[in-house]
Amino acid sequence: MTGKAEKVYSEAVFELAKEQGNADEVKEELDALAEIFDSAPELGKFLTVPTVTIAEKLSVIERTFKGKISDTSYNLLCVAAENGRAALIPGIAEDYRERWYEMKNIAEVKVTTSIPLSDTLRIKLKAKLEAVMKKTVILTENVDPSIMGGIILNYGNTMTDGSVKSKLDALQKQIKGVIA
């Protein structure tokens, strides 16, 4: 989940990228930067430590990223570092991705099942979701044997729980209510 600062940075860079016509490129770069910051958290820490001068931070950013990413992404990284917010890059990337998905009419749906989906079921589920949502659907699959069967769908702030576990939990509550 992203905070207010991430949303502010994300909105600014998203609007700029749309103006410059490189919103797709910036999305890919921010996703890659988020992976870098997630896999090397010491980079985010280094870029936010007050004892390291802004000039030193910018020098590291320049040596590492200049010419390898678009000016839009590079400038975002520099501004974030100057303001002590470089560690927020993964959150900024997450919020940017959500804005980009909205622009492209894409929905990311998280699917949890007790066993992996078969190819046939995955195709049918994706087609059904696309027909209902009127969006291109990207499925993110998760296997959780504890749900015992059925399926849980998460999209945005909406969750549909059709798992066996949730049905058994509801039945148990109902029985306890009758007995008590």
- pTM value? 0.84
Residue 86 has a CB neighbour count (10 Å cut-off) of 24
**pLDDT digits 0-9 by tens, 97-117:** 999 999 999 999 999 999 999
CB 17 within 8 A of CB 103: no
Q: What pLDDT, in 10s, does the model give residues 113-171?
A: 999 999 999 999 999 999 999 999 999 999 999 999 999 999 988 999 999 999 999 99
| Model pLDDT, residue 179 | 86
Which domain-ending residue is among 102, 136, 161?
Answer: 102
Question: Band of the pLDDT at 82, cuts 50, 70, 90?
Answer: very high
**Residue 1 confidence (pLDDT):** 59
Residues 59-69 have a mean pLDDT of 97
State which residues form the domain around 165: 105-179
User: Is residue 62 located within the same domain as residue 119?
Assistant: no
Residue 77 gets the label, from left (phi > 0), alpha (psi -120 to 50) or beta, of alpha
Which residue, 102, 129, 148, sits at the end of a domain?
102
- Given strand 136-143, what is the order of strands in its sheet? 136-143, 106-113, 150-155, 158-163
* β-bridge mates for residue 151, sequence order: 113, 162
